[in-house]
Structure formats: C-alpha cells, structure tokens
Chain A
Amino acid sequence: DAKTTQPTSMDCAEGRAANLPCNHSTISGNEYVYWYRQIHSQGPQYIIHGLKNNETNEMASLIITEDRKSSTLILPHATLRDTAVYYCIVRDPGTASKLTFGTGTRLQVTL
C-alpha cells in the first residue's frame, strides 16, 4: 500500500469548513483513498473513500487531485463533535485485506 503523509495537527473554528490534506504521491492506479476518524476512546469510524472522482456523502467530501497524488477531506461545517484524529489510507481493495493506519491528523474544533 502506498505511503501517506498528513499534517500532525490542525485547528478549525466551529461552523467553518475543515480541510484536511493528505499526500500520497506514490499511489498506484488500483489504489483507493480512504478516510477514517477516531474520536477519543472510541474505535475508528469510516468516513469516505474514492478512486479518482470527487466523492460526497452525509459526513464529508473527498477531493482527489487529477494526478491522484494528493487529496483533501472536507468537513463542510465542523462541530465540536468532529474533534478527532483523521486517518488517510491508501490501499488496493483487490489485494489488501487490512487497513494500514499512519499517525493521522489531530483536528481540534474550537468555539
């Protein structure tokens, strides 16, 4: 699975959009980008995934650059409950059975 690079931490004001970047410059053609988050003392929670097109669901939007070497997770209106560690993971769903987590980005949403 390709390696990902994320900032260690970010702050966001409540009600504003939180934009979390992820670099995956060695991503291969079959690998998808997945995002999970982990709120303190809980297990990780799936957010969204994509291959090359932008994706949106009820939780977030995922913007993947045309060359697929980076992506951004967008939480359109962050709330205090979005404070968590966000993990960007790249994997090939056809060959990999596991998720390889890095250290993620710690997002702090403040009043």
Chain B
Amino acid sequence: DTGVSQNPRHKITKRGQNVTFRCDPISEHNRLYWYRQTLGQGPEFLTYFQNEAQLEKSRLLSDRFSAERPKGSFSTLEIQRTEQGDSAMYLCASSFGTGFTEAFFGQGTRLTVV
C-alpha cells in the first residue's frame, strides 16, 4: 500500500473551465476527507465521506463544487466554472474505523486558475 494517492499533482486551467480531481485512499479505509489549503493557511475542511455516503459538507463547498465516492473507494472532486479564487492546494485524507483514528493525507493537487 503506497498511501493516499491524488491525481493530478498539478492542474492549470482557464477561468470558467471545469476541473476534476481524483483521490485513491488507503485500501479498506472507510472514511475519506477533502480539504483545501491556500498559501500561508492551514487546511480547511470541505467534505467527508463514510463509505459512499457524503455525511458532512462545509459551507465553503459552494454549488460549483461536487464530490462523489460512488463505490466507497476512490473519490472525485469536481469544480465547475472555475474562478481565480479557487486556486489552492486540494488535499485528500483517509482513515479507518469510527471515532478518532489517524488520518493519512495525500500530497494534494495544486490548482491554478488563470
């Protein structure tokens, strides 16, 4: 197991385009999280899945953002009609079990909207 994998690592897109990021969690991890991080700030929570169910969404997740985890394994985060303010690092994390367990983070996808 090589840990949480995120693709692509970098994405440059023009304003108004749609982008999709993929996260492959550690095998058998039932929990999956998406975070966003801008320069100089700590990661901000976006959304959380337990298996295929999306259980929590931040108000940061506007209607242009959608996340899915169709089979309870990998997840995708799509941003429609990108804006310059969407430029950030998008981090995915996964964990196993209930209650607190250690969350493992991927290396993130850096999005630049030009």
Residues in chain A within 8 A of chain B (CB atoms): 32, 34, 41-46, 49, 85, 87, 91, 93-94, 97-104
Contact yes or no, B40 A103, CB < 8 A = yes
Give B75 Cβ to nearest chain A Cβ, in Å. Answer: 15
B100 touches A44 (CB 8 A): no
Whether the Cβ atoms of B41 and A93 lie closer than 8 Å is no
Stretch of B65-73, B80-88, B104-112 at the chain-chain interface = B104-112
- Give residues in B with beta carbon < 8 Å to A: 4, 31, 33, 35, 40-45, 48, 50, 55-56, 91, 93, 99-100, 102-108
CB-based contact B42/A98 at 8 Å: no
Q: How many A-B pairs fall under 8 Å by CB?
A: 52
In the complex, besides A93-B99, A97-B50, 15 extra interface pairs with C-beta distance below 8 angstroms are A41-B107, A43-B105, A43-B107, A44-B91, A45-B105, A46-B104, A87-B42, A94-B99, A97-B48, A97-B56, A98-B56, A99-B43, A101-B35, A101-B42, A101-B44
Rounded to whole angstroms, the CA-CA distance of A56 and B85 in the bound complex is: 41
Q: What are 27 A-B pairs at a CB distance below 8 A?
A: A32-B100, A41-B107, A42-B105, A42-B108, A43-B4, A43-B91, A43-B93, A43-B105, A43-B106, A44-B43, A44-B91, A44-B105, A45-B105, A46-B102, A46-B104, A87-B42, A91-B100, A94-B99, A97-B31, A97-B33, A97-B48, A98-B33, A98-B45, A98-B48, A99-B45, A99-B103, A103-B41
